[in-house]
Amino acid sequence: MARELPYIAAINEAIRLEMARDDTVLYYGQNIATTENDEFVQAFGHDRVRVTPISETAEIGMAVGAALAGYRPVVELYMAEFMLVAMDQVVNEAPRMRYMSGGRVTVPLVLKAGYGFTAGWSGQHTGSIYAMFTGVPGLKVALPATPADAKGLMATAIRDDNPVCFFHHYLLTLEPGEVPEGEYLVPFGQAAIRRTGGDVTIVATGWMVGKALAAAAALAAEGIDAEVVDPRTIQPLDTDTILASVAKTGHVVLVDQATRHGSASAIIAAEIAERGFSSLRAAVTQVTALDATIPYSEPMEAFVLPDEAKIVGAVRGVLGTAPVS
């Protein structure tokens, strides 16, 4: 049975269900569980649900230690940028431990962080910094675009025996969608085809999935049939599904809210160039944020971000159809 839930409620439902299922799952972080009325405190008590000080290095480092000692912490980090304060623990501790021990330990933890809050939050709270974590062997990176995926990917993240960066998009927070009830898992490394089409493949993540679908709808009116692929996790990355789509369409537009050289698109483009070159009938085109810090003022913010019109323009470009003035 599915019913409609907002994206954020779907995430919370997954955490709640996993905490009920497995009492080694912990949930802590800043500005949660500050009163007895907190739903997690009421359900699971203060041993497993705690508010922490503003101490990201300790929060994430403690998650590593608790994971080494047999628990599955979910750390509430609020904003992806706050992970930067504790970059050593994220990049150079959590994902290295299992490897350096020769497989003697595991570090199952989830770093839950919102990103991409491009609603006037200016330069330090709006970044789409997920791709920098895909280059770290040992880390997994999930980017849910729908409420159902938000639930299913969070549940999978909690059950995974590796450290997982779970990046939820702030502009999707209240987006409603059909969400299955009860246990619901979305496997990592399996892309979703959001729209089937034969003319062009659009690969998009997070908030950009909606933009890509809107662009596809507009293009359909011009007789262009776009396929929209959402990787859902970028580490592991479902390259096979992307390549199969490219083999069918021969044309690719990669959409990413991150800046061009810090994007998942750049990684996907390289995979397509190496493994899908013979399928391509035009150069791979990327629609990413422009290489700037996100500006505060609305027209400038809109200028640097990918949007429906930019995606439509890029599709016309790869298909060689005349741009509309």
Partner 1 sequence: MTELDNAKLVWMYRHMLRIREFEERVKRSFEEHPGVIRGHTHLADGAEASIVGSLAAIQQGDQILTTYRCHGYPLVLGTDPKAIMAEIYGRRDGLCGGYGGSMHLCDPGRGFLGTSGIVGQGIPQATGAAYAAQIRGQGQVVLGFFGDGATKQGAFSESLNIASLWKLPIVFVLENNSYNVVTRVEQEDANAAAGEPLSVKAKAFSMPGVTVDGGDPVRVHDTVADAVARARSGAGPTLVESLVYRLSAHGNLIAPPGVPLHFPEHEAVEVFGNLAEFEAAKRNDPVPRFRGRLVTDGVLAPDQADQIGAQVREEMQAAVDFALASPYPAADAALNYVYA
Is 70 near partner 1 (CB under 8 A)?
yes
CB of 265 to partner 1, least distance (A): 24
Is 100 near partner 1 (CB under 8 A)?
yes
The interface region with partner 1, picked from 96-104, 175-183, 215-223, 301-309 by CB under 8 A, is 96-104
Is 197 near partner 1 (CB under 8 A)?
no
Specify whether the CB–CB gap between 222 and 249 falls below 8 A: no
CA 277 to chain centre: 27
User: Which of the following is catalytic: 46, 125, 168, 261?
Assistant: 125
Is 264 near partner 1 (CB under 8 A)?
no
Is 58 near partner 1 (CB under 8 A)?
yes
3 vs 104, which CB is nearer to partner 1?
Answer: 104
Residues near 309 by Cβ (< 8 Å), separated by ≥ 6?
215
CA distance 310 to 80: 26
Q: Where are the alpha helices (DSSP H) in 122-277?
A: 131-134, 147-159, 207-220, 239-249, 264-275
Element (H, E) at 3: strand 2-6
Pick from 1, 35, 69, 278 the residue near partner 1 by CB under 8 A.
69
Query: What one-character DSSP code corresponds to residue 80?
Result: G
31 vs 101, which CB is nearer to partner 1?
Answer: 101
Is 73 near partner 1 (CB under 8 A)?
yes
Is 106 near partner 1 (CB under 8 A)?
yes
| Strand order across the beta sheet in which 192-195 lies | 192-195, 226-230, 200-204, 252-259, 285-289
64 vs 272, which CB is nearer to partner 1?
Answer: 64
Which pair of tokens denotes residue 14?
Answer: 């997954």
Pick from 8, 32, 68, 282 the residue near partner 1 by CB under 8 A.
68
Active site residue 168: no
Backbone angle region of 78, left / alpha / beta, with phi > 0 → left and psi within -120 to 50 → alpha = left
Pick from 77, 79, 97, 142 the residue near partner 1 by CB under 8 A.
97
CA distance 112 to 79: 8
Which pair of tokens denotes residue 305?
Answer: 């971000």
Catalytic residues: 125
Residues that bind partner 1 (CB under 8 A): 26, 47-48, 50, 52-53, 55, 57-71, 73, 88-89, 92-93, 97-106, 108, 137-138, 140, 160-162
